[in-house]
Structure 1
């Protein structure tokens, strides 16, 4: 069965194996995975069988609804198995993951390290080609947006992001070297801030760097205001999180 996302997409399209996950991947960000379920073991074997000069790449796409995620924790802490429970619904925009490191275990499991490479929009999905999904995707440009505006917006976003990190961690300094490149910064902020998956997905789908930075400035300002309110409450975050609701 094939699910069509759009018949009006333009640009270069390509075939790409898809890996639905309960997370959003951004270009340039590292995503380690523990491959447990057989369908994704097969995906890894297929990727490793490619010629050495071909990119070992698959598409990470966030699950909107319709699949139960069993132990789907990135980072190798547990299995990333997915089992179909109802009709599958995926977000249209995802990010390809390029395999950088592979460790195959004797029992057939894999530990891999991937890096987000390029964004795509799903044109359609083929669920009959094999044990894992195959998609036809349109690659999305990493456009800066209005000339010069990304460079103008980046310092303000960086400033509020650093304030957000200091408030979140209770530190006076982040102690981190953050990127100067506006596009790299926009993806790092989106991946690092404690946002909902819907917010992250919305940032991934922004058409250009300027749009993403503007959206992040708004989201970070909201988060900073919320943290300010929490700090005004005469209780620690731990106390707030441990309070039980009345029966």
Structure 2
């Protein structure tokens, strides 16, 4: 059943179960948040998050600095949003909203369910999308693959910590549920947005775990040859001002 949701484009990927902090600067998305806050009590405050295909760091610029192309200077898709955005995203439920005197908001949201974008209404101050929920299937062999991904992820963590001359503060508890594990690994691994989007879009848990197993082995081997690695904390959640 299709649901109409406000759309929040990001240069990051939101996954089901992921807790995600956002700072909202740009006027149209401040309006989006204000409209959610104004909803009657008991009505869910939620919106759809979609990754921008040509993702870039979101930062305000002057009019003369704005580049030509599918994004404006604030990371907002221009032209045809269906061309500028990936079509599979994740619904974000708002857990908390903190307004500031300068008009910006701090949000804490939780990813819930995946959806496929089928159409976009551009007539209002922000995008409204027709979002078709995507049910998650286990796929064949998800349980067995989960064990391999857990071992590969722990090896990846150790190699990454070693490359940074850092130590892991004890061994993390990893979820037993293959689906939850697949999304946790996708969120925690240091990967480019297109790769993270590919993981979100996998048709089932087994496919995601299989892809992650290959990626983790490749990334772990690569770390051994690199003199340094990106300065991104492995378990830090993405932070995307918009």
TM range (shorter): 0.7 to 0.9
What stretches of structure 2 of length at least 5 have no aligned partner?
61-72, 230-242
d(CA) in 2 for partners of 1:83, 1:158: 36
Contact 1:35 1:81 in 2 (8 A): no
The structure having more radius of gyration, on CA atoms, is 1
2:228 is equivalent to residue 237 of structure 1: yes
d(CA) in 2 for partners of 1:188, 1:237: 24
Aligned CA distance change for structure 1 residues 94 and 30 (closer, same or farther; 3 Å): same
Aligned to 2:129: 135
Aligned CA distance change for structure 1 residues 198 and 60 (closer, same or farther; 3 Å): same
d(CA) in 1 for partners of 2:120, 2:193: 22
From 52, 72, 75, the counterpart of 1:63: 52
Shift of 1:81: 4.0
From 93, 116, 121, the counterpart of 1:98: 93
2:48 is equivalent to residue 53 of structure 1: no
Q: Show structure 1 runs of 4+ deviating over 6 A.
A: none
Aligned to 2:188: 192
From 100, 110, 118, the counterpart of 1:115: 110
The SS at the match of 1:82 is coil
Shift of 1:177: 1.2
Aligned CA distance change for structure 1 residues 87 and 124 (closer, same or farther; 3 Å): closer
d(CA) in 1 for partners of 2:151, 2:169: 12
Shift of 1:179: 1.1
2:146 is equivalent to residue 154 of structure 1: yes
What stretches of structure 1 of length at least 5 have no aligned partner?
1-11, 73-79, 231-235, 239-247
d(CA) in 2 for partners of 1:118, 1:176: 25
Shift of 1:173: 7.1
Shift of 1:150: 1.2
Aligned CA distance change for structure 1 residues 212 and 84 (closer, same or farther; 3 Å): closer
TM-superposition CA deviations, 1:150-179 (whole Å, max 9, x none): 111111100000000110011477521111
TM-superposition CA deviations, 1:167-215 (whole Å, max 9, x none): 0011477521111111000001101101111110000000110110001
Aligned CA distance change for structure 1 residues 26 and 172 (closer, same or farther; 3 Å): closer
Shift of 1:15: 0.4
Shift of 1:70: 3.3
Aligned to 2:64: none
- TM-score of the aligned structures, taking structure 1 as reference length: 0.80
Shift of 1:82: 3.4
Greater relative CO, 1 or 2 (CA 8 Å, sep 6+)? 2
Number of equivalences:
211
Aligned to 2:172: 176
d(CA) in 2 for partners of 1:173, 1:213: 25
Aligned to 1:210: 206
- TM-score of the aligned structures, taking structure 2 as reference length: 0.81
Contact 2:28 2:125 in 1 (8 A): yes
Shift of 1:106: 2.0
TM-superposition CA deviations, 1:126-162 (whole Å, max 9, x none): 111x11100001100021113xx21111111000000
